[in-house]
Structure 1
Amino acid sequence: MSTTPAADSAELRLVVLGRTGEGKSSAVSSILGLAHPPQDADVMQECSKHRGEAAGRRVSVVSSPAWFGSGCDPEERRRLISSFVSLSSPGPHVFLLCVPVNQPADGEANALDALTELFGPSAVGTNAIVLFTHTEELEEDEQLGGYLATWRKDLLELAGRCGGRYHTLETRGGGEAEEGKAVEELMEKVEQVERHCSCPLYREAEERVRQRQVEIVRRRRGGDQVGPTDPQPEGDVTEEEMEAARDEAERSVGDLDVDVESVFPASAPPRAPSFLWGLWEKLTGWLPRVLRREALLGALVGLFVGGPFGGMMGATVGSVATEVGRRRTQKVK
């Protein structure tokens, strides 16, 4: 993979990724200082691009629905990948992976695997930052770093794959000054990356975007301003015209040559839920939040192991899980 210094670009490009409900829209809103979150890319099932300023820097932020989950149709996956790649061409300076601190991170680990397969190891090791969300789950006096080190070493390992880079835009006070500081710190981390992601897929996208850009300018100018093979329109074509043509070109490139079959091999369909799993889901809906899964976990361990030893093991598992759940959910009053 080749890279290009960020200093050579007047605009920093960010791609925001994450599963549904993991805070992508809020992240875009915070970065660009929008009064209202943009339309949710997951709801629209379309990639979106927003331009603006963040801490004094010109930025473009691309948000994409989740395309790395096992339930995504191959053709839909190819369409979404092609779309966010074209919108962030010639390559993003960072991939921001939204990761909630209160959920398992298997899906996000799969996302990093997919980025590596699609764009090369540097896409994760050099150009990815974990953006932690749902930090309201932490206790009021608990810092994110301490929480991760004590309770969620799996999330620290996830950030470790990204060169140890992680951040959060969520602030306890919620004031403008704190939010502005969080965005400023994020942009400093983006600039420390220094080089934007580049690979054959992004080079293909950039070539197609430039060709479409020329075609769009020719069409709008009646076909007499540029030649069919001119790499860059010249003459009296304004910067605004070129930028508008670029925006249209990015949205109309079409599917790229994404080998989704090799990156996402077909897997066997999920098995139907068992009776015990269905019972588990029903019972967990009845019990209080702090106790429901932890107590049931201990009970089921005791049930399956059986005997006095099983009872003791179940009690131990239940009490440990309850304490972990308490720390994750209780607030200091």
Structure 2
Amino acid sequence: MSTPAAHSAELRLVVLGRTGEGKRSAVSSILGLDDSPQDADVTQECSKHRGEAAGRRVAVVSSPAWFGSGCDPEERRRLVSSFVSLSSPGPHVFLLCVPVNQPADGAADALDALTKLFGAPAVSANAVVLFTHTEELEEDEQLEGYLATWRKDLLQLVERCGGRYHTLEARGGEAEEGKAVEALLEKVERVARPCGCPLYQQAEARVRERQAEMVRRRRGGDQAGDVTEEEMEAVREEAERSVGDLEVDVESIFPPSAPPQAPSFLWALWEKLTGWTRWLPRVLRREALLGALVGLFVGGPYGGMMGATVGSVATEVVRRRTQKAK
């Protein structure tokens, strides 16, 4: 399906992530907006913002976490229909916000959901991992090194997205943040082809139908040729928001799951371990966490002794390496 001329030069981005994973900050950074709470992170509704970024026309759609297992089927259908209609005729990229200080399970679920809805190319050709919460890294530590050394699970997400990842949390002030946004949009342009699939074709057909109806009502039955480009764009935005639910078979794509349970045992332990290590100096955090994890997986009194030993040895290695470097 062809793209309307008014939107052919516009980059369309869909930002996905759970509450607290940096989605709101990402939208604000891209479009230079105030970090306002009136966003999908808080309202649990899909939102769309248009503007200019690095000399380009950009439309950014932000969506709540409809991909979670605890989402009600009707709510999931409504949210999917909303963000698909707002990003029709198809986004150039899906930006998946992934905190560097959390396990990769939730982000992997999001990629699985995108694959089920739009097909494998939506992930391999149109998705970018957008790392957030990078302030957790040490001052002299680069994201690339951190991922390669400590977070192979996050690298697996990147591999699923065609090797594409980025962060907008540049160190160095507004100038560096502007460069980070420009670099992101360059990556988006390299993707080039908008995500297209039957669901987006259905959405675009409905949007155009609603758009034509609205124009006819406004012009009292006259043809759309009398409408200016600005008016057509405003009517299209209204049409995108009034499409209603699309024909998304959420029951088969997302089969019913067990009722939401308390956080898993391992996840709860991960939260505790990362929590109590925060008060330690940064250089000791990983070594302490490493020892604790060894004790956790070995188990029993021997696990505790082995974990303590591993943590102590790792800390001593870092201490000596630091002294040697001075």
Q: TM-score range by the shorter chain?
A: 0.7 to 0.9
Q: Per-residue CA shift, 1:203-239, capped at 9, x if unaligned?
A: 00000000000111112222x213xxxxxx22x1111
Change (3 A) 1:3 1:238: closer
1:68 and 1:279 map into 2 onto residues whose CA distance is: 21
2:184 and 2:139 map into 1 onto residues whose CA distance is: 22
The counterpart of 1:305, out of the listed 300, 304, 326, is 300
Q: Per-residue CA shift, 1:36-63, capped at 9, x if unaligned?
A: 4462203111100000011101010000
The counterpart of 1:239, out of the listed 229, 238, 252, is 229
Scaled by the length of structure 2, the TM-score of the pair is 0.85
1:135 and 1:251 map into 2 onto residues whose CA distance is: 34
Corresponding position of 1:172 = 171
Corresponding position of 1:225 = 222
Change (3 A) 1:118 1:245: same
Corresponding position of 1:330 = none
- Give the drift of 1:312: 3.0
4+ residue runs over 2 A deviation:
35-38, 269-274, 276-302, 309-323
Q: Per-residue CA shift, 1:71-120, capped at 9, x if unaligned?
A: 11111111000000000000000000010100011111011111111111
Higher helix share: 2
Scaled by the length of structure 1, the TM-score of the pair is 0.83
Change (3 A) 1:247 1:312: same
- Matching of residue 150 in structure 1 with residue 145 in structure 2: no
Q: How does 1:92-241 map to 2 (within 5 A)?
A: 92-174=91-173, 176-222=174-220, 224-226=221-223, 233-234=224-225, 236-241=226-231
Count of residues in Structure 1 that have an aligned counterpart in Structure 2: 308
1:68 and 1:162 map into 2 onto residues whose CA distance is: 17
CA contact (8 A) 1:94 1:196 kept: yes
2:27 and 2:158 map into 1 onto residues whose CA distance is: 20
Q: How does 1:15-164 map to 2 (within 5 A)?
A: 15-37=14-36, 39-164=38-163
Letter in 2 for 1:243: E
CA contact (8 A) 2:292 2:307 kept: no
CA contact (8 A) 2:23 2:41 kept: no
CA contact (8 A) 1:25 1:39 kept: no
For structure 2, the 5+ residue unaligned runs are 317-326
- Give the drift of 1:310: 3.9
Letter in 2 for 1:207: A
CA RMSD in angstroms, aligned pairs only = 3.1
For structure 1, the 5+ residue unaligned runs are 227-232, 324-333
